[in-house]
Amino acid sequence: DVPLEVFRRVVENVPTAISVTDAHANILYVNPAFVNVSGYALADVMGKNESILSYKATPQTVYRDLWSTITEGRTWTGRLVNKRKDGGRYLAELTVVPVRREDGAISHYLGMHRDVSEMH
Ligand code: FAD
């Protein structure tokens, strides 16, 4: 068995931006890589909606596709235009994984993204 403390250190050291939200995309946790990529401090994003990252340049159809996929309990991967705290724009490759309670209801979402601006 891997101790919980090891899981915590794994998440805190992984070079992928990780966030955990409630069922409405309000942020409950972000890892240090998220702070690095987005430029936001922990205190800036706690309790805020993930839409704080939106550059408002991604077509609504992308968000509709994201939400219809994840609310059905499936994993979504796609590319969004995100905005850093300093206003800088980056292309994010985002994966959102629904997290279910034992009764099957979706209680949280896991977000994982990286800056792929240089890769296209
Ligand atoms: P919204 O008001 O969010 O609406 C956009 C569309 O999504 C609408 O069609 C609306 O009907 C639909 N929608 C919104 N909320 C719900 C809901 N609770 N249930 C069903 N449908 C809904 N966005 C980014 O721009 N960048 C990110 O990095 C990012 N990461 C995310 C990570 C996670 C884990 C999750 C769950 C969401 C993430 N989002 C991200 C999506 C974000 O929460 C917003 O939906 C998005 O930014 C659009 O915001 P908006 O205010 O423009 O529109």
| Chain segment 73-83, per-residue pLDDT in tens | 999 999 999 99
ipTM of this complex: 0.96
Number of Cβ within 10 Å of residue 83's Cβ equals 18
| Structure-derived torsion over alpha carbons of residues 42, 44, 47, 49, reported in degrees to the nearest 10 | -110
Written as tens digits, the pLDDT of the chain (120 aa) is 899 999 999 999 999 999 999 999 999 999 999 999 999 999 999 999 999 999 999 999 999 999 999 999 999 999 999 999 999 999 999 999 999 999 999 999 999 999 999 975
Ligand 1, atom 48: closest residue by C-alpha: 51
Does the beta carbon of 40 lie inside 6 Å of ligand 1?
no
Ligand 1, atom 3: closest residue by C-alpha: 51
Tell me the C-alpha distance between 55 and 38, whole Å: 12
Does the beta carbon of 77 lie inside 6 Å of ligand 1?
no
What is the architecture, at CATH level 2, of domain 4-119?
A: 2-Layer Sandwich (3.30)
Which sequence spans correspond to the domains of the chain?
A: 4-119
Strands 106-115 and 89-100: antiparallel
